Amino acid sequence: MTEAPVIEIEDLWFSRNGEVILEGINLRVLPGDVFAILGPNGGGKTTLLKVILGLISPDRGTVRILGGLPRERRHLIGYVPQLHTFDFHYPISVREMVLSGLLGRKTGMIKTFSTADTVLADKALATLGIAHLADRAIRDLSGGEQQRAVIARALVGDPKVLLLDEPTVFVDTPTETQFYDILGNLARTMTIVMVTHDIGVIISHVTKVACLNRRLFTHDSRELTEDMIQGAYKCPVDIIAHGHPHRVLRPHPSEE
């Protein structure tokens, strides 16, 4: 493909308090990719996301989002933070929360939401099948419904790429199954990047996989090879794609 990358990272280094967190990261996410970045906790996944979102600056290297700097282009990313970082007791309705995803593009001193904005918000909620919950308070939603609402907020601004941080952490199994269905639907029309320590996330929708543990191991394919896992996890890992059995390891020659 000759299309320009949605996210392009070149030779990215980041260290904190003298400790190298990210070492020589290279990553190209192309339009239509469903890219899963796996890695153990403390492997630099959150840091990588923050660099992509322009929340922290790298020591060295460049990050481009659709050809521009993160701070200029990050509003084109539909960001879905980890669910447990939310204060779901905040007094806000589902629709208001989704609308807040449109606030950054408003200009002028007083930012109000128009009828057109409300239509967009309700459309995003309908995409995720929770249009009927629009007027409910977020604290009255179930975990799965809350996750859908957070994704709806990311979708409302019509982003070019969806960026998900640990989408299956702290959700129960039925919610996780729901999430895979949502992801499958979105993957048909969107570029998706997700970061997770849950190897089970490697499901049939994913088109590319990388492993991150300070360094990024990838073959630009959906194949998760043993050397990638060895590199990231420093030990052999049993790969069990629970819920969605899908083989990601090449059949080992000796197995046959």
Partner 1 sequence: MLSLLGYEFFRNALLAGVLASVACGIIGTFVVIRRMVAISGGISHAAFGGIGLGYYLGIEPLLGALGFTVGAALTMGELEQRAEQNMDTLIGAVWATGMALGILFIYVTPGFAPDLFGYLFGNILLVPQGDLVLMLVLVVIIVITVSILFNDLVAVTFDQEYATVTNLPAERLLLVLLVLIALTVVMLIQVVGIILVIALLTLPAAISRECTARVKTMMIFAVLLGCAFTTAGIFLSAFLNIPSGATIILVSAAAYGGVLVKKRLARRYLNPVATGPDRQ
CB of 233 to partner 1, least distance (A): 28
Is residue 53 involved in binding partner 1 (CB under 8 A)? yes
CB of 159 to partner 1, least distance (A): 10
* Number of CB atoms found within 10 A of residue 112's CB: 7
* Number of CB atoms found within 10 A of residue 43's CB: 23
Nearer to partner 1, 53 or 183 (CB): 53
- Region near partner 1 per CB under 8 A, out of 19-27, 77-85, 170-178, 207-215: 77-85
Nearer to partner 1, 107 or 254 (CB): 107
Length of the chain equals 256
Is residue 111 involved in binding partner 1 (CB under 8 A)? yes
Start-to-end C-alpha separation, the chain:
35
- Region near partner 1 per CB under 8 A, out of 32-40, 48-56, 122-130, 220-228: 48-56
Query: Which structure tokens are listed for 26?
Result: 């290279």
**Torsion, Cα of 58, 61, 66, 72 (10° steps):** 40
CB of 37 to partner 1, least distance (A): 18
In Å, what is the CA distance from 116 to each residue of 76, 120, 149, 198, 217?
19, 6, 19, 38, 44
Nearest to 146 by CA among 169, 171, 123: 171
CB of 103 to partner 1, least distance (A): 5
Q: Which residues bind partner 1 (CB under 8 A)?
A: 53-55, 71, 74-75, 77, 79, 81, 85-87, 89-93, 96-97, 100-101, 103-105, 109-113, 137, 139-140, 153, 157
